[in-house]
Amino acid sequence: MQQKQVTIKNEAGFHIRPAQLFSEKAGTFQSSIAVKPEGQDADIDAKSILGLMTLGLSKGAVMIISAEGSDEEAAVETLSRLVEEGFGEA
């Protein structure tokens, strides 16, 4: 299993567009991918836009991206980079 902690950097936070981009990109990987806001116990399926929308993460929020499967390392790295680059909004 691969994991990485990332911080939401874009001004608008993790709203509909970033959630859509994130879930679409997660869907391109074979691995099971989950997102968990720092300090919470429940993992959210990263391939579920509805699940991601329930997070309501704002700028500065920290989340943990984890993946398990054949392409777990690439999945975590790609999704982390998407978050760190502000979903193309910064």
pLDDT in tens, 24-79: 999 999 999 999 999 898 899 999 999 998 898 999 999 999 999 999 999 999 99
Enter the pTM of the model: 0.93
Per-residue pLDDT band at 85 (split at 50, 70, 90): very high
Q: What local confidence, expressed as pLDDT, does residue 90 receive?
A: 57
**C-beta separation of 19 from 49 below 8 A:** yes
Higher confidence at residue 89 or residue 69?
Answer: 69
Could you tell me which residue, 90 or 52, shows the higher pLDDT? Answer: 52
Our answer to whether residue 47 is catalytic in this structure is no
Instruction: Select which of 4, 9, 15, 25 is catalytic.
Output: 15
